[in-house]
């Protein structure tokens, strides 16, 4: 019998992460992100989300700032996504309903080479 190999430890040297958001429903949603540090940083984005389509963005690691990620739509409190896990590809769902805007993780997988 063979045992499954334990998952690899978190990659502290990974330089990027991929964060995707898949919108549900008909209400227009925006996926936004920016690096927050002591000084203004490049890399801010504000992307429209289409229902049923994953909108992804590659985020690069910064030593002097941290990523802030949100999903928002007019009239609702923005949904804050957790800081990206570098070396990972994370997919979230986002939906605006009568209860408000909700975001939840759907899938997470490592990024990198396909070889094992």
Output the pLDDT for position 6: 45
Does residue 7 lie in a domain region? no
**Average pLDDT value for residue range 110-116:** 65
**Average pLDDT value for residue range 69-80:** 94
pTM (predicted TM-score): 0.80
Q: Quote the domain boundaries for residue 93.
A: 16-109
Tokens 């990659």, residue located = 11
Does residue 1 lie in a domain region? no
pLDDT in tens, 29-71: 999 999 988 887 888 899 999 999 999 999 998 888 899 999 9
Does residue 8 lie in a domain region? no
Q: What is the mean pLDDT of the chain?
A: 85
C-alpha–C-alpha distance, residues 39 and 11, integer Å = 27
Does residue 11 lie in a domain region? no
Would you give the end-to-end CA distance of the chain in angstroms?
20
Does residue 6 lie in a domain region? no
The number of domains in the chain is 1
Does residue 43 lie in a domain region? yes
pLDDT in tens, 9-22: 555 668 899 999 99
Does residue 66 lie in a domain region? yes
Q: pLDDT higher for 39 or 104?
A: 104
Question: Sign (positive/negative) of CA torsion 109, 23, 21, 53?
Answer: positive
Q: pLDDT higher for 101 or 2?
A: 101
Does residue 5 lie in a domain region? no
Distant-in-sequence, close-in-space partners of 39: CB < 8 Å, separation ≥ 6: none
Q: What is the CATH number of the domain that holds 60?
A: 2.60.40.4150
Strand order in the sheet with 16-24: 54-60, 16-24, 88-97, 100-110
- For residues 78 and 72, the answer to whether their CB atoms sit within 8 Å is yes
């Amino acid at each position: 019998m063979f045992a499954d190999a334990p998952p690899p430890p978190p990659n502290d040297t990974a330089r990027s992460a991929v964060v995707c958001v898949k919108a549900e429903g008909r209400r227009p949603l925006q996926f936004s992100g920016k690096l927050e540090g002591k000084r203004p940083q490049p890399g801010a984005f504000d992307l429209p989300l289409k229902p049923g389509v994953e909108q992804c963005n590659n985020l690069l690691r910064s030593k002097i700032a941290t990523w802030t990620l949100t999903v928002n739509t007019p009239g609702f409190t923005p949904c804050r996504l957790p800081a990206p896990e570098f070396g990972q590809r994370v997919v979230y769902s986002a939906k605006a309903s009568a209860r408000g805007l909700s975001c939840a993780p759907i899938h997470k997988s490592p990024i990198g080479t396909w070889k094992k």
